[in-house]
Amino acid sequence: MACADDVDIKERSIPATRKSVLLAAGTALLSAAVVARIGRFGFNPTDQGFVLAQVWRVLHGEIPQVDFLGPRPFGSAYLHLIDQLVPAPLMIGSSFVMMVQLTVATFALAAFLTGTSPLDWGPLRLGLVFTAALVGLNTYPLMAWHTVDGVFLVAVGWWLLDSGLRSGSRWRRLLGLFCLGFAIIVKQSFLFAAPIGLLILLFHPTAPPKKGWRLLGDVLVLGAAPSLYFGVVTVAGGLRSAIAQLSGGHQTWGEGLFLFWTAEFAGRADPRTYVFPVLLGVFVIAVAFQARERLGDFGRWLRIVTAACVVAVVVFVVADGGFEHAGNWPVTLLWLFSAAAILDAVVRRRLPWRYLAIACLGWMASLSWGYPLPGLLAGIFALGVLEAVRPPDLPRPPALAGGVLGATAFVLAGLLLMSAHDKAPYADRPQGELTKDLGEIAAPMRGVRTNTSVYTYVAQIRGCLDRYPASNVAILPDNPFVAPVFGVRNPFPLDWPLPMELTGDSPERMVEAAERLDREGNYLVLFQTVKAVSLTAGGPVPDAVAPDAPTIRLSGVEDRIKDELTGAEVSCGSFAGYWAPPR
């Protein structure tokens, strides 16, 4: 009997294994195609390389919050060590990893939302989930970033926790909890995912009765990553400084999501008007579903027609948004998704906790100084509305018809994605103007294309490093890509000393680093004379400036650093600064 059971299990596992391989291959292929077609076009010296600079520091033995500082924890520096293993130039490989993360996160959230396994999905749902991944990317830059990491870890964490509790799989449950804990140390705005995970653990409808010892073990796994992270910081003597750094930033609470209802949208259609027809549709579907026995076929067709109208509204919101990076369309989709939660509650007679959790994740993702929008979850918001309005008694379409419909949605989203990126790559010129390959300057940037201004700017940095050799190199205020791309050491404890990043004792630590650097020598510290926004606009980059030329000042720390440096005043291309050769 045991042998027969083993054979049966093996026979059943073959299709699942094959489908898993196909899904993994599809994810990798999609990610590679997106990077090749759009991800390699455009380069922003301010943002791209920011997380990679942290990875570079970790690889060289620096301790986060102690040797390098910031208003966020640096869990992303450890997560993106995997970028170094991709057999591609660093910038291209990092873009590939980001797209894989976003695609996996979309699959995880869809599985979590529906309570199903991707291995059980038909062609239609698979096509729509891949489409949702493209919508979630929109014109967000393909680069390593802490917000993407947080969304990825929370999505995978909730999915594994949920499926582990439903199936009784111990390893899924524990890995899911670990991911949720890890999310806390990539960005503190994802802290709220952990208590939601605990609520799922305690009150999951299909979970077995809780045992005290098991619950304690689960909580320990949940806290493993942050405990290890802050344990190392504490042992290194940096806990007090870390607390000041992480708590000293400007607070944001996602106000834009709620101010959406009171904002003025002059000169364009009011996006709030799309929420009301969806609410009306939700009401009609809910009433028709409750009275389905009395209404009969009429009620069934009423639900189908109303659902089609709601779907049309969602599709229009996505298309009308044009995948705009900073538009209001992701916020509109979040509120449409929240309306769909009501329908989920009525139809399934339950608290729509899965919808509410994902809506909370959208709020967490919008807790940002620079991008206070839930754009990374736009795809799952749209898909969630479609899942909610689908009549539960509607039979599945034939595989061929579902596949055609899913493929059509995917192709249309892909065309919209390419059009949006061609017109407006993130922080760069339209794609037709991106004629310069940065790989001509540095191998880690091979394949990345940009405009002539950015190319000249980066080439000047390469020339400066050759002209003024030094072991310690910093180009202030905002060029974090320099260290990982050119393989130099940044002697300052911040890669991005912008005003809002200078929390806690960071300004004083920057000045102390300048004092120490001047004593030791062997440094090149340059300051920009060209603003990053000018590079984005394709503005001119001077061939040369005087050593005492005015430089960019984003905070008072630049002048304080200059006061401490006594090396030779030098200029190189559009940069001016100080150089002290090895002693």
Q: Is 416 inside a domain boundary? A: no
- Number of helices (H), then strands (E), belonging to the chain: the values are 23, 6
Q: Is 401 inside a domain boundary? A: no
Query: Is 166's pLDDT higher than 50?
Result: yes
Q: Is 429 inside a domain boundary? A: no
Query: Do both 154 and 216 map to the same domain?
Result: yes
H/E run at residue 153: helix 146-167
Which of 249, 274, 293 is the last residue before a domain boundary? 249
pLDDT one-digit tens code per residue, 192-205: 999 999 999 999 98
Structure tokens at 60: 């060289």
Q: Is 412 inside a domain boundary? A: no
Query: Is 356's pLDDT higher than 90?
Result: yes
Query: Do both 573 and 448 map to the same domain?
Result: yes
Q: Is 526 inside a domain boundary? A: yes
Of the given ranges (112-121, 339-348, 519-528, 541-550), which has the lowest mean pLDDT? 339-348
Strand partners, 489: 472
**CA gap 186, 537 in Å, rounded:** 31
Q: Is 146 inside a domain boundary? A: yes
- Containing domain of residue 461, as a range? 436-580
Domain total in the chain: 3
Query: Do both 111 and 201 map to the same domain?
Result: yes
Q: Is 427 inside a domain boundary? A: no
Query: Do both 295 and 309 map to the same domain?
Result: yes
The region, left, alpha or beta by phi > 0 then psi within -120 to 50, assigned to residue 378 is alpha
Question: What three-state secondary structure class fits 167?
Answer: helix
Query: Do both 304 and 236 map to the same domain?
Result: no
Query: Do both 80 and 206 map to the same domain?
Result: yes
Query: Do both 208 and 341 map to the same domain?
Result: no
Between 209 and 158, the more confident residue is 158
Residue bearing tokens 């229009």: 316
Query: Do both 244 and 155 map to the same domain?
Result: yes
Query: Do both 262 and 193 map to the same domain?
Result: no
Give the phi and the psi of residue 358 in degrees, each rounded to 5. -70, -35
pLDDT at 172: 96
Query: Do both 260 and 227 map to the same domain?
Result: no
pLDDT at 541: 96
pTM of the model: 0.94
Query: Is 190's pLDDT higher than 70?
Result: yes
| CB-CB contact of 545 with 558 (8 Å) | no
- Of the chain, the percentage scoring pLDDT greater than 70 comes to 97
Nearest to 34 by CA among 420, 423, 445, 414: 414
Nearest to 152 by CA among 197, 113, 98: 98
Alpha-carbon dihedral 69, 71, 75, 79, rounded to 10 degrees: -90
Cβ-based neighbour number of residue 489 at 10 Å: 15
Which of 341, 367, 394 is the last residue before a domain boundary? 394
Structure tokens at 404: 């055609």
Query: Do both 190 and 134 map to the same domain?
Result: yes
Q: Is 335 inside a domain boundary? A: yes
Which of 343, 369, 394 is the last residue before a domain boundary? 394
Query: Do both 31 and 165 map to the same domain?
Result: yes
Query: Is 443's pLDDT higher than 90?
Result: yes
